[in-house]
Amino acid sequence: MIASLFKSEGFSIIGLILDVVIMGTLIFYYFIGARFVDHDLSNFLMFMDTGSYIFMYFAIKCLWVKPKVVNYLIAKELGESKEVIEEQELDLQTSKIRGIYFFIISVVMLIITKLRMQPELQADAISMNPVFIFVGVIIILIWLVLDIYRKKKYGIFLFKTIVPLVVTTWIIIATIILS
């Protein structure tokens, strides 16, 4: 979040350094994965695959700002402390940049998983995806019911269902790519 703040304020050199560190770390993971065999490689692939889903969740959570905007407007209207409002403003200012970071990391982790995937480990690496998809569908339905309830009670449709919907879609896409 600090790097996002610096980028939003125009201090791009720190953001550039952070970009290089993030990309360096992902490249490091790529080359580390080349040394693993058997069970270690299986764990590495599971880590990268599941990490891709988690970072996609964070990306969509940061990029979908409508609920944050509503909370910010409510806090301003209720006269919350200046500190709380400034924190929410900062969160809104940096959400897009953080979301893009998380999205790129998610995609790169999936690419590393695909590049390091070995045919004999393929079934094991994506064996949990049907369970993740099933749980994702259940979460989508729950959030949809909550969104409809909020629409009827408060008159605003936040569409928080978009987060589990996109993550579940990402899991389906990843399963197709890794198969």
Per-residue model confidence as pLDDT tens for the chain (179 residues): 555 555 555 555 666 677 778 878 888 877 877 788 888 888 888 888 999 999 999 999 989 988 888 888 888 888 888 888 888 888 888 888 888 988 998 999 999 889 888 888 888 878 888 999 999 999 999 999 999 998 998 888 888 899 999 999 999 999 999 88
Domain ranges of the chain: 2-178
Identify the pLDDT of residue 13.
Answer: 65
pLDDT of residue 5: 56
Q: What is the pLDDT of residue 70?
A: 84
Q: Distance between CA 160 and CA 147 in Å, rounded?
A: 7
Tell me how far apart the alpha carbons of residues 132 and 96 are, in angstroms, rounded to a whole number.
26
Looking at residue 148, its pLDDT comes to: 94
Eight-state DSSP code of residue 158: -
Structure confidence at residue 164 (pLDDT): 95
Rounded to two decimals, the pTM is 0.82
If we measure between CA atoms, which residue out of 95, 103, 109 comes closest to residue 50? 109
Return the ∠ at Cα 74 (arms to 72 and 75), rounded to 5°.
Answer: 65
Looking at residue 10, what is its pLDDT? 55
The total number of residues shown for the chain amounts to 179
Which residues have C-beta within 8 Å of that of residue 39, sequence separation ≥ 6?
Answer: none
pLDDT for 1 equals 55
Closest C-alpha to 125, from 59, 43, 67 = 43
Q: How far is residue 105's CA from residue 27's CA, in Å, rounded to a whole number?
A: 11
